[in-house]
Structure 1
Amino acid sequence: MPHIAVPENRPGIRGLMASKPSSGRKLSELAQQLLRGDSPLTPGERELIAAYVSTRNETRYCAGSHGAAAAHALSGGDYTVVDAVRLDLATAPVSAKLRALLELAGQVQVSGLAVTEEHIAAARAEGADDETIHDTVLIAAAFCMYNRYVDGLAAITPDDPAVYDEIGENLAAKGYLS
């Protein structure tokens, strides 16, 4: 049960944002910019970063919805890559560049101070430029905030994977401002 009153049938962050629309709109606009705005990373890659950080933070709602969005954006709803990244990043079928970026995002999830020159050099060695590194760190940092918002207010978190698949399909198709 959420710690604050939220509209019925509004799971996760959507319910929380509906309880305070003025800040909710700003959070949606930020997500739209980070996950759909201009970036050298594809929307699917950015969703995978969000899902990876959310999984590491144990935020079931965000891990489920962004994992589903990544699956829909990357491969039309096939969860093979998303599940592999969650299970073992080292053996997941992603490019070396994306693996290095996900490892970087994982360090941000631990602490911004956990990011070292070695993490940045590893991403650069795989072809990441300044903008790609910037976007990866900002997405990871923002999702730590979103995760704490969702968990800190005990947002409604469905158990049914089909709910997340529907949310993810919608996010992949329409983004964050609909």
Structure 2
Amino acid sequence: MPHIAMPPELAPGTPGLFQYRPETGRHLGELAETLLRNPHSMSRGDRELIAAYVSAQNDCRFCSSAHAEISAAQISGGRALVDKVLDDLDSAPIPPKLKTLIVIAGAVTKGGHEVTDAMVDAARQAGATDTEIHDTVLIAAAFAMFNRYCDGLAAIVPDDPAAYVGMAQMIINDGYRMCATGH
């Protein structure tokens, strides 16, 4: 049960919260669009995987489920690879650069000071650019906020995993800007 009265026609999870307060939701949707979908040296699927990993570390069921599906639909290896990363990053068969960036994102979930020079050096040695390191930290920090926003208001979260597949296709097709309006 949500902590605030939410009209039943609103979407579940953070999109519903964006719709509840479109004057803030519009900006949050724009932030997600910029971080996860705008042109970038990292693929959309990889950035979504970082969002899913951070959300899983933060124990946000809605965000981890939604972003896992969005990532799975956009990366080679699909859902099996996403599940492997979420279950056991160390043995996940992903490129070293992505793995080092996810390690940095995981550190951010514990606190900004948890990111070490050694982590950043490892990412650079694996080929990460300063922009990729920057954006990984920002994705992790933003998702700490999104996760707490969703769970802190006890947003409605679908129990059926199939619901996230439809949401993923909607985001892939239409982006995050539409989350604040529902269109």
Deviation at 1:7, TM superposition (A): 2.5
2:45 matched to 1:53?
A: no
> For residue 171 of structure 1, what is the amino acid of its counterpart?
I
> What secondary structure is seen at the aligned counterpart in 2 of 1:157?
coil
Match in the other structure for 1:151: 151
Deviation at 1:39, TM superposition (A): 2.0
Distance, in Å, in 2 between the alignment partners of 1:5 and 1:17 is 14
Aligned 1:124-143 pairs, distance under 5 A: 124-143=124-143
Deviation at 1:170, TM superposition (A): 1.7
Match in the other structure for 1:162: 162
Deviation at 1:98, TM superposition (A): 0.5
Match in the other structure for 2:33: 32
Distance, in Å, in 2 between the alignment partners of 1:19 and 1:172 is 22
TM-score under structure 1 normalisation?
0.96
> For residue 97 of structure 1, what is the amino acid of its counterpart?
K
Unaligned runs of 5+ in 2: 179-183
2:89 matched to 1:89?
A: yes
Distance, in Å, in 1 between the alignment partners of 2:5 and 2:22 is 13
State whether residues 39 and 135 of structure 1, in contact with CA within 8 Å, keep that contact through their aligned partners in structure 2: no
> For residue 58 of structure 1, what is the amino acid of its counterpart?
D
TM-score under structure 2 normalisation?
0.93
State whether residues 2 and 155 of structure 1, in contact with CA within 8 Å, keep that contact through their aligned partners in structure 2: yes
Distance, in Å, in 2 between the alignment partners of 1:63 and 1:172 is 16
Deviation at 1:174, TM superposition (A): 2.1
Distance, in Å, in 1 between the alignment partners of 2:93 and 2:171 is 23
Q: Which digits, 9 at most, give the CA deviation of each residue in 1:142-172, with x for residues without a partner?
A: 0000000001000001110000111112212
Moved >6 Å (runs of 4+): none
Distance, in Å, in 2 between the alignment partners of 1:17 and 1:36 is 18
Cα RMSD (Å): 1.2
> What secondary structure is seen at the aligned counterpart in 2 of 1:34?
helix
> For residue 161 of structure 1, what is the amino acid of its counterpart?
P
Unaligned runs of 5+ in 1: none
